A = this chain, B = another copy of it.
Amino acid sequence: METRANDARHRQRQQKLKEQVEARVAAATGKKGILIVFTGNGKGKSTAAFGTVTRAVGHGKTVGVAQFIKGQWDNGEYNTLHPLGVEFHIMGTGFTWETQNREADIAAALVVWTEAQRMLADPQYDLVVLDELTYMLAYHYLDTDAVIAAITARPAQQSVIVTGRGCHARLLDLADTVSEMRPVKHAFDSGIQAQVGIDW
């Protein structure tokens, strides 16, 4: 008897949940590309972006990636996605704290940004990823106005993902979807080193 009552309650709860979700989806009738920001100090920002690229590629979408920091390491997402037709433009200078040369960093950022701008203006791209862009704005390597303008003026069907800590407030305002990755704990802190295939 109790099991049957539980089952009935479960069905009722699930029915209610189903109706709520369907109402929410039905209310969302706009069809346009969206701007997603993955920010915060926790793990999963760039990986969420590349998970989305993996999904998009699986649906035959055209994807371009501009990576504003990583570049000197063996790059797992590049190894997998580039052979599948994803276009990559990667800053060649590695992490900025490896170079300690502001002018060289800015020059390298501008090279990648030029490619990003081209992709943001081209309706052939369904999805453009601006990985770790937030640091370029925080360090004033790129002009915030120019970045906002290029994202705002992109083709209507194109989606954009921006990743990185400390996202600029104007980008957050512009975004349709923002997730903040909050670090609850991190393996580094318990003495486990960064690992190939997991951390990069």
Contact = CB atoms under 8 A, between A and B. Distances in A.
A15 interface: yes
Contacts of A67: none
A130 to B, nearest CB: 15
A28 interface: yes
Given A48-B48, A180-B181, 11 more contacts: A15-B100, A24-B188, A28-B192, A51-B53, A52-B198, A54-B77, A55-B77, A55-B80, A55-B198, A57-B79, A177-B186
Contacts of A98: 18
A182 B185 contact: no
A123 to B, nearest CB: 15
For the complex of A and B, 5 pairs with smallest distance between CB atoms? A55-B76, A47-B51, A58-B79, A58-B76, A51-B51
A112 interface: no
B187 A34 contact: yes
A55 B61 contact: no
A155 interface: no
Contact of A11 (B102, B180, B183): B102
Interface string A161-180: 00000000000100111111
B184 A182 contact: no
B75 A58 contact: yes
